[in-house]
Amino acid sequence: MATAKLSGFPEWLPADRAVEERIIDLLKHTFELNGFAGIHTRAVEPLSALAKDGEIDKEIFAVSRLHSEGAEKNPMGLHFDLTVPTARYVVENAGHLNFPFKRYQIQPVWRGERPQDGRYREFIQADIDVIGEDTLPEHFEYEVPLVIVQAFDALGELGVPPVKVVANNRKLIEGFARGVGLENITAVLRCIDKYDKIGPQRVAELLQEEAGATSAQAEACLKLADIESATAEFAERVAALGVSNDMLDEGVEALVKLIDQAHAQSPGSVVAQLKIARGLDYYTGTVYETLLQGHESLGSVASGGRYDALARTDKRVYPGVGMSIGVSRLMSRLIGKDRVLTATREVPTAVLVAVTDEETRAEANNVARALRERGIPADVSPVASKFGKQIKFADKRGIPFVWFTDGESGHEVKDIRSGKQEAAAADEWLPPAADLWPQVVRVV
Amino acid sequence: MATAKLSGFPEWLPADRAVEERIIDLLKHTFELNGFAGIHTRAVEPLSALAKDGEIDKEIFAVSRLHSEGAEKNPMGLHFDLTVPTARYVVENAGHLNFPFKRYQIQPVWRGERPQDGRYREFIQADIDVIGEDTLPEHFEYEVPLVIVQAFDALGELGVPPVKVVANNRKLIEGFARGVGLENITAVLRCIDKYDKIGPQRVAELLQEEAGATSAQAEACLKLADIESATAEFAERVAALGVSNDMLDEGVEALVKLIDQAHAQSPGSVVAQLKIARGLDYYTGTVYETLLQGHESLGSVASGGRYDALARTDKRVYPGVGMSIGVSRLMSRLIGKDRVLTATREVPTAVLVAVTDEETRAEANNVARALRERGIPADVSPVASKFGKQIKFADKRGIPFVWFTDGESGHEVKDIRSGKQEAAAADEWLPPAADLWPQVVRVV
């Protein structure tokens, strides 16, 4: 059979998937503690909803029925993020939703980009968004990144390093660019977004090549992009650049508030970094990225921003703010060559019930059933081979206990790590709590 | 923005998604108790792996980069089930897996079929499969349907009706068809598979039109297809039809064992129904369907079978047996017009912390944080409106408790259902266990 590994479409082995599942569970739990409701949207959207201006359309996977006759009436594509589908979902279901609508969503997304370290063509995102009807209070801009910090704190229990959210405001960049006389704002944002990838020198060149900047204008933009601060002090450094523009002032004020408010609730968790621009075209204000400490080279593991005009009808607008955790990107580092996390076993099974001979398989089945009914994950040996082989079967999978139905004292259970074997009854015996389910642990 | 509802791509409102999530959690829990490990495979496969002989290729959605230049080197499609991707995954990762490999997988699949009641173009399947290396003991054929029954028993706690698994064996059909002189077995299976949809009369005609049967041969096949029995007694009724064929005998023997063994472990849960054929071409032995009691018109809610040749390399073969629960199909009935289940609220939030005025929002945030740290899902009022409006905000979402930071005795919490309000401390107060998280309940 065809088994071509498709580059950029990662799949994990069972033990690593257990790590991913645990991460997803912790994210869900954090999101739900904060009042976000889960939704699930279809994988496809009309191409018209995906292919906007900007460069995004290059990354889309188109979807069509293989044997459709003639042109599709509604050409479709796989969603490249979870924000666009949610915006559409909100508009479609507005009459049935209560606003502000706080939702989380954890699903794969697809992009046709060239695969690189931590960048895939199919990857799982974990999004939170808050969407208002007509208006959206700005305090949600402070709260969303703090929920993300809280989510990573929860992952910290597993051994995931802490994060730092870096934030900027598109109005600040746009106002500054306009203030120095630049007009092609889309191009300016696109150039600055490449800062970390290509470095300041090349960004300066690009600003001249693509955004029509003079070298003085490009230099001014770079001075802005270089500003970084854990406090509202960044505002003075922006002021010192001597550029005057109303939108710039508005952006600075919004970012000052964000940094101050986030600092008040969780000191040092959100810092200003004025090179943050984000690639997606729908952001209109605050933008965020998130760096995993010690793994900054991985790029942002959680990004987002405020979008005031993505979800709208002729009559209404649904402004939103959200962030998206790159679960697959995070996984690439956590289970990659410098593995950080692992699962204590590759199967859920805590107990393997040995089968003495095929004639007594029913007895083993009964033991397993009794254990399962009491919430203990149990499996039955697939073949009545020699007990040594059955113990090896458990050992290879990391199953800690093997149950025998014909020990010297009747039913006995063996901890195959210590070799200790003792009499046990399927309606009473319990494994130690730490052995009941596989655990995700830090590799030491 | 474009909000074209796409027919066949269902999306649920948050409260219904909570029902679906709960169902998925119960399925996962049952699968894990039985020792199945979770995996997640990519959504796309090479077209060559999807488009086999038979009619399957008509249902595939092709995927290509929107702006790819020229023909794709590896044309791809969205998977139409989870069995084909797992077979490929097993072959690809065989060196890292331990066999028999028991895995579960809960993901969307896509088919280009015309949408109908309970039949979608994108739908979630929950699969369990056991895959062996070279060999696979037949007892897994008895155990897989019993795990499915157990999974529906777990859903029964929510109010989902019980199920009956109906089983057949393709060797039985093929042997019988050969025994009466028919040779186009693929066509015979395809005709019989339509029994419930088009009725016996039309199947008889189709067998003549498409499988080259005489009217006597067609009639014999229908007599076989009509046989149904909760016990091994069906074998006598097959024998009474007087057809002699080795493969028929083999199929009857296998099905007798399955019914007997399943009956011994869970009486009445699996019955023989000789009209079950299944549409997918990869099954080679036992095939299963599952009917939801009282909702038989919905069709099968869990189907599968044994496939001996789907996963193979030049050197090895990986025989498997599995079943797939149609989660979306089940949902269509559970939350449809004769709604069976509902969630007690549409948000996770147990407590809404009221905000007295925007200046004291930080105090409300602190209460919410303290509650969350103790595992209580809490939200803060988005706007410091009048308390009556804030209570209404909670009520509309089904949030049972509202917290006030400036009650007569300081902090107070109100059960808005009873109106009872009492002093409370954020580091001590607990809601009743039934109110902590949304519950899924039967509609009365």
Q: What is the 3-state secondary structure (H, E, C) of B126-170?
A: EEEEEECCCCCCCHHHHHHHHHHHHHHHHHHCCCCCCEEEEEEEH
* Class of residue B387 by CB neighbours under 10 A (exposed 0-12, middle 13-18, buried 19+): middle
Which pLDDT score, from 0 to 100, does residue B215 have? Answer: 96
B213 phi/psi in degrees, rounded to 5: -85, 150
Which pLDDT score, from 0 to 100, does residue B55 have? Answer: 47
Report CB contact under 8 Å: A5, B92.
yes
Among positive and negative, which fits the CA dihedral B182, B187, B190, B191?
negative
pLDDT higher than threshold 60 for residue B56: no
Q: How does B83-115 read in b/e, with b if 16+ C-beta sit within 10 Å? A: bbbbbbbbbbbbeebebbbbbbbbbbbbbbeeb
Mean pLDDT calculated for residue range A147-163:
96
With bands split at pLDDT 50, 70 and 90, how would you rate the model's confidence at A80? very high
Are A207 and A217 contacting, i.e. CB atoms less than 8 angstroms apart? yes
Between CA B124 and CA B348, with CA B107 as vertex, the angle to 5 degrees is: 80
With bands split at pLDDT 50, 70 and 90, how would you rate the model's confidence at B66? confident
Are A91 and A62 contacting, i.e. CB atoms less than 8 angstroms apart? no
Report CB contact under 8 Å: A137, B383.
yes
Residues of A whose CB is below 8 A from B393 = 98
Q: Provide, rounded to the nearest whole percent, the portion of chain A with pLDDT above 70.
A: 96
- ipTM for the whole predicted complex goes beyond 0.90: yes
Residues of B whose CB is below 8 A from A110 = 43
Report CB contact under 8 Å: B140, A98.
no
Q: Any chain A CB within 8 A of the CB of B195?
A: no
Residues of A whose CB is below 8 A from B9 = 42, 44
Which pLDDT score, from 0 to 100, does residue A377 have? Answer: 98
Q: Provide, rounded to the nearest whole percent, the portion of chain B with pLDDT above 90.
A: 87
Q: Any chain A CB within 8 A of the CB of B151?
A: no
Mean pLDDT calculated for residue range B177-198:
94
List the one residue out of A387, A392, A317, A308 whose CA is nearest residue A355. Answer: A387
Mean pLDDT calculated for residue range A385-390:
97
pLDDT higher than threshold 50 for residue A322: yes
Are A206 and A212 contacting, i.e. CB atoms less than 8 angstroms apart? no
A147 phi/psi in degrees, rounded to 5: -65, -40
Nearest chain A residue to B384 by CA: give it.
Answer: A137
Which pLDDT score, from 0 to 100, does residue A55 have? Answer: 47
Residues 47-66 of A with CB under 8 A from B: 47-49, 51, 57-58, 60-66
> Which residue in B64, B140, B379 is closest to A35 by CB distance?
B379
Eight-class DSSP state of B56: G
Report CB contact under 8 Å: A13, B93.
yes
Mean pLDDT calculated for residue range A361-388:
97
d(CA A242, CA B251): 86
Q: What is the mean pLDDT of chain B?
A: 94
> Which residue in B36, B49, B66 is closest to A62 by CB distance?
B66
Q: Any chain B CB within 8 A of the CB of A397?
A: yes
Report CB contact under 8 Å: A361, B20.
no
C-alpha distance from B313 to closest chain A C-alpha (Å): 6
Mean pLDDT calculated for residue range A18-26:
98
Report CB contact under 8 Å: B67, A57.
yes
Mean pLDDT calculated for residue range B226-254:
97
pLDDT in tens, A36-78: 999 999 999 998 888 765 444 558 999 988 877 656 667 899 9
Eight-class DSSP state of A58: G
Mean pLDDT calculated for residue range B413-440:
97
- Range in A164-178, A269-283, A347-361, B412-426 the model is least confident about: A269-283
Name B128's bridge partners.
B104, B323
Are A289 and A166 contacting, i.e. CB atoms less than 8 angstroms apart? yes
* Alpha helices by DSSP H, A280-360: 327-334
Q: Any chain B CB within 8 A of the CB of A21?
A: yes
Mean pLDDT calculated for residue range A234-260:
97
Number of H-type helices and E-type strands within chain B: 14, 19
pLDDT higher than threshold 50 for residue B54: no
Q: Which of B56, B66, B101 to mutate to test the interface with A (most CBs of A within 10 A)?
A: B66
Report CB contact under 8 Å: B66, A43.
no
Which pLDDT score, from 0 to 100, does residue A53 have? Answer: 56
E strands in A279-392: 286-292, 302-312, 317-326, 341-343, 351-353, 378-380
Residues of A whose CB is below 8 A from B377 = 32-35
Which pLDDT score, from 0 to 100, does residue B374 have? Answer: 98
Tally of CB atoms within 10 A around A316: 11
Mean pLDDT calculated for residue range B351-372:
97
Are B117 and B332 contacting, i.e. CB atoms less than 8 angstroms apart? yes
- Range in A58-72, A168-182, B5-19, B271-285 the model is least confident about: A58-72
The two tokens of residue A429 are 């015996």
Are B367 and B379 contacting, i.e. CB atoms less than 8 angstroms apart? no
C-alpha distance from B73 to closest chain A C-alpha (Å): 11
Q: Any chain B CB within 8 A of the CB of A122?
A: yes
Which pLDDT score, from 0 to 100, does residue A199 have? Answer: 94
List the one residue out of B118, B166, B125, B154 whose CA is nearest residue B32. Answer: B154
Are A359 and A373 contacting, i.e. CB atoms less than 8 angstroms apart? no
Output the CA–CA distances (angstroms, integers) from residue B94 to A15, B133, B314, in the order listed.
Answer: 14, 9, 13
* Alpha helices by DSSP H, A185-276: 185-193, 195-210, 215-225, 234-239, 246-265
- Range in B88-92, B222-226, B278-282 the model is least confident about: B278-282
C-alpha distance from B429 to closest chain A C-alpha (Å): 16
d(CA A333, CA A301): 10
d(CA B296, CA B336): 15
> Which residue in A42, A47, A361 is closest to B11 by CB distance?
A42
C-alpha distance from B200 to closest chain A C-alpha (Å): 30
Q: Any chain B CB within 8 A of the CB of A374?
A: no
Q: Is the pTM of this model over 0.90?
A: yes
Residues of A whose CB is below 8 A from B65 = 60-62, 112
Q: B373 in helix, strand or coil? A: helix
Residues of B whose CB is below 8 A from A12 = 39-40
Please confirm whether the linkage preceding B382 is cis (ω < 30° from 0). Answer: no
Nearest chain B residue to A69 by CA: give it.
Answer: B58
Tally of CB atoms within 10 A around B216: 10
The full length of chain A comes to 444
Report CB contact under 8 Å: B311, A44.
no
Nearest chain B residue to A48 by CA: give it.
Answer: B2
Which pLDDT score, from 0 to 100, does residue B116 have? Answer: 84
pLDDT higher than threshold 60 for residue A256: yes
Tally of CB atoms within 10 A around A78: 26
Residues 197-226 of B with CB under 8 A from A: none
d(CA A67, CA B60): 8
Q: Helices B246-265 and A361-373 meet at what angle, rounded to 10?
A: 50
pLDDT higher than threshold 60 for residue B3: no
- Range in B247-251, B333-337, B417-421 the model is least confident about: B333-337
**Count of CB contacts below 8 A, A vs B?**
244
pLDDT higher than threshold 50 for residue B189: yes
Nearest chain A residue to B309 by CA: give it.
Answer: A1
d(CA B341, CA B167): 28
Output the CA–CA distances (angstroms, integers) from residue A232 to A166, B28, B137, in the order listed.
Answer: 13, 47, 68
